[in-house]
Structure 1
Amino acid sequence: MDDLVQVSIIVPVFNAMETLRRCVERIVKQSEKRIQIILVDDYSSDDSLQVCYELAKKDDRIEVYGQSSNKGPSAARNIGLSHANGKYIYFCDADDQMDLDCIKFLEDVMEQNSADLAVCGYYIDGTKVLERNKTPDVLTADQAAYMVAGAGNYQAKGYLWNKMFKKNIILRGVTFDETLFVCEDALFCQQYIRLCGRIAYDATAKYNYISQPNSAMRGKVSKRNLSVLQGYDKIICCCQAYNDCNLTNILDANKMVHYSTLLVRIIKNYDKEQARLGQCVCEFVERDLHKMLKNKHFTLKRKLICLFSVTYLRLLKIITKK
């Protein structure tokens, strides 16, 4: 089988028994048949692993690996990479759906443009995400860094599932940071792009991202959610190689959006644990306060949300101590 594999498709799986069959059905029906499908169960508490084994019995291109504890999507994807035999690497989420020609389309974009990374457009819950303006067909690494940051005209952002990677470039030292549980995808993309010469982009939508009410960025804040803050520090550090102050400011603004989002979620779901995590976020905001107030890419509304939220949480801490 190894000699026949053109693309390795890696699917991290966690408590996805309700959506996994639908997801994998779209993968096995891809017009590109020379694929290796790697399902990595991240110690699910439901029957996801059993579903993986059932699917593998129906198609010998499917391989199943399971983790002995819940380590997060980064660790699951790294396991997938260690077993990948394809020339190209593609990542799919277990609750989403691909167009049936998604893999072949990205292959063609890659090869027709002699590119190191291929990027396509996407849908969110069936609605196509449109570019603000015409985007170049072929980008340089510094242009692609803006694309991953979601800046300017670019909507491709730092998602994994609208991109196809080359295995030989990943083997040059690009891995998923297993300390991160949020924005690990954007960090991976930025690290990968630094090793690229040409990045090919076609805005044709080939992937449908399906939002989930219990996703990592909804409801109560967990300790793992806070890893987004360290994650953005790492992304900014990675992109300093471009020596581009405007890009750094955009990435700083992205990080600050996460500050405001986390603070609002904490206040909405306030309890003792949220209070403790809220103080951690407050420390990050206070550390970056000067940069936040000066950053033109961070809206006044977001700045006010951060300032009022930090003040509110600090006051609550004082009041509850009395």
Structure 2
Amino acid sequence: MNTLVSVVIAAYNASQTLPVAIESALQQQGCDVELLIVDDCSTDNTLTIATQLAMRDNRIRVFQTPDNRGPGAARNLALLAAKGQWIAVLDADDRFAPYRLATLLAVAQHQRRDMVIDSYYLTKAGEHIPSGSRFTSLCSQADMRSVSATDFVSLGLGSTKPLIRTVFLRSHQLRFNPAIKCGEDLLLYSQLLIAGASCTFVNLPLYYRTESAGSLSRKNKVQSLSALANALILLHNSVSKTSLSPGTLSKAIGYRMKVTNDALAAAKWRYWMASPRTAPLPSLRNAFELIRHVCFRKVRYATKSL
């Protein structure tokens, strides 16, 4: 009998992309899947699409939040209902490669890991051909490396989608923070590592991430980066409560906060330039952070063109 993986999709106004995401999850080879779709009170026909597909395939279960609460709260509903030994999060506008889950499972089971992370492809909305990749330079292709909490934060791996052992997640009573609308992934995955989760990174881009202009992180960069900065503050505040060496991890968090604040400054300047100058003029400190962002952006957000 194959290992059961619970694939979690939080969906909000995702009617155009959800069918592709669902198909990629259901077509996973080498493992069994259950698909938990949580509609976050969409205003389009996302719920209808999910419900109709669930009627055709009993591996799909559909839930709905009482009101629009954001991706963290929506995913938490699915985490409570998950029956699989492993959990994998899939965004509603992204997709899996056909052997993704089986590949990550093989690594997890062979190395006895609680989490496995892969690199990923970047694609544009409506296109299936990848335009680039992220984290493929961390080690040789198909090679692996262990990842600590410090590594995870300093390398900026918060945008990845780890495969997570369900029993570890539940035994430490960890969930997505529903109050955070961007960076909730970074916070939860970092907390898992701080709690002692063993983790391996494998350099195989098996996840296709869509760079969509309509996503929260793209639609309102100031808002999403501000939320990410708050997530890092919460993470920093929690470090002192662990048995890990706080100095090393705090330094990594401090670096990631600097990177995020620089990007936030750049977003504020772009917003001011694009506005009819009714927005407040960013401060001189923002100007310094903007310059630093421009100078180091390629290094900090390295992507590999295909």
* TM-score > 0.5 by shorter chain: yes
* Shorter-chain TM band: 0.7 to 0.9
The aligned residue for residue 303 of structure 2 is none
Give 5+ residue unaligned stretches, structure 1.
Answer: 152-156, 305-322
Q: Which deviates more from structure 2 when the two are superposed, residues 242-251 or residues 83-92?
A: 242-251
The aligned residue for residue 264 of structure 1 is 269
Q: Is the 8 A contact 2:168 2:197 kept in 1?
A: no
Which deviations, in whole Å up to 9, do the C-alpha atoms of 1:233-282 show, x marking residues without a partner?
1123344543215413322222313422431343134369954xx88xx6
CA distance, structure 1, for counterparts of residue 137 and residue 225 of structure 2? 30
The aligned residue for residue 144 of structure 2 is 137
The aligned residue for residue 56 of structure 2 is 58
Sequence identity (%): 18
User: Does 1:159 find its partner at 2:159?
Assistant: yes
Secondary structure of 1:243's match? helix
Structure possessing the higher radius of gyration over alpha carbons: 1
Secondary structure of 1:192's match? helix
Distance 1:248 1:24, change over 3 A: closer
Give the TM-score normalised by structure 2.
0.81
C-alpha deviation, 1:205, in angstroms: 1.0
The aligned residue for residue 215 of structure 1 is 215
CA distance, structure 2, for counterparts of residue 196 and residue 233 of structure 1? 20
CA distance, structure 2, for counterparts of residue 76 and residue 148 of structure 1? 24
The aligned residue for residue 301 of structure 1 is 292
The aligned residue for residue 96 of structure 1 is 94
Greater strand proportion: 2
Which deviations, in whole Å up to 9, do the C-alpha atoms of 1:292-316 show, x marking residues without a partner?
98xxxx7853399xxxxxxxxxxxx
C-alpha deviation, 1:226, in angstroms: 3.2
Higher RCO, Cα 8 Å, sep 6+:
2
Secondary structure of 1:180's match? coil
The aligned residue for residue 17 of structure 1 is 15
Q: Which deviates more from structure 2 when the two are superposed, residues 183-192 or residues 193-202?
A: 193-202
Stretches of 4+ moved more than 6 A in 1? none
Secondary structure of 2:44's match? coil
Q: Is the 8 A contact 1:117 1:196 kept in 2?
A: no
Distance 1:9 1:219, change over 3 A: closer
The aligned residue for residue 226 of structure 2 is 226
Distance 1:110 1:181, change over 3 A: same
Which deviations, in whole Å up to 9, do the C-alpha atoms of 1:96-151 show, x marking residues without a partner?
11101111111111111111111112100113335335277342524xx3234326
Distance 1:274 1:69, change over 3 A: farther
Distance 1:271 1:149, change over 3 A: farther
CA distance, structure 1, for counterparts of residue 222 and residue 109 of structure 2? 42
The aligned residue for residue 113 of structure 1 is 111
Q: Is the 8 A contact 1:232 1:255 kept in 2?
A: no
CA distance, structure 1, for counterparts of residue 222 and residue 43 of structure 2? 18
Q: Is the 8 A contact 1:239 1:248 kept in 2?
A: no
Distance 1:261 1:68, change over 3 A: farther
Which deviations, in whole Å up to 9, do the C-alpha atoms of 1:31-64 show, x marking residues without a partner?
0442110000001111000000011011101000
Secondary structure of 1:158's match? helix
Task: State the superposition RMSD in angstroms.
Answer: 3.0
